[in-house]
Amino acid sequence: IRQKEERLMAGELWNDTGFVCTSPDGKPLDPDWVTHAFKKVIEKLGITPVTFHGLRHTHATLLLTQNVHPKVVSERLGHSTVGMTLDTYSHVIPNMQKEAALKIDQILRAASSKQERS
């Protein structure tokens, strides 16, 4: 609603960037300003300091550990290739390898059990 109001007030000066969070004229927010404002909120709340980059990293790691397809994670991060995402977040892969091994074990055991009953 706020952005619609800002769009109306800006009129022809509105920059339709497609961003959700913008300055009053529709332009992207200045990253330095966002970082500074976020830091002030963190300090005011008295919580453990975290950066936006840290939030981005956590976001990707959580998605990958919940088996969200790496292509989807890559697109959300705006990476140019899935390889970039996998290279950056390879530390998550060992747990995923273990899960994959457990899943294939379950599949093979179920197939073997089914065959024995036949």
The per-residue pLDDT for range 2-43, each reduced to its tens digit, is 888 888 888 888 888 888 888 888 889 998 999 999 999 999
Query: Which residues fall within 8 angstroms of residue 14, CB to CB, at 6 or more apart?
Result: 6, 7, 25, 26
For position 42, what pLDDT does the model report? 93
For position 92, what pLDDT does the model report? 83
The radius of gyration of the chain from alpha carbons, rounded to an integer in Å, stands at 22
- Reported as a pLDDT band with limits 50, 70 and 90, residue 63 is very high
Amino acid at 38: F
What are the distances in angstroms from CA 69 to CA 53, 61, 76, 87?
A: 21, 12, 11, 15
- Partners of 28 in beta bridges: 22
Mean pLDDT of 42-54: 92
Are 28 and 17 contacting, i.e. CB atoms less than 8 angstroms apart? yes
For position 80, what pLDDT does the model report? 96
Percent of the chain with pLDDT over 70: 100
For position 25, what pLDDT does the model report? 87
Are 26 and 14 contacting, i.e. CB atoms less than 8 angstroms apart? yes
Backbone angles phi, psi at 24, to 5 degrees: -60, -20
- Residue 27 is classified by DSSP as P
The encoded tokens of residue 90 equal: 């390879």
For position 93, what pLDDT does the model report? 77
- What is d(CA 118, CA 111) in angstroms, rounded to the nearest whole number? 11
Is pLDDT above 90 for 86? yes
Percent of the chain with pLDDT over 90: 53
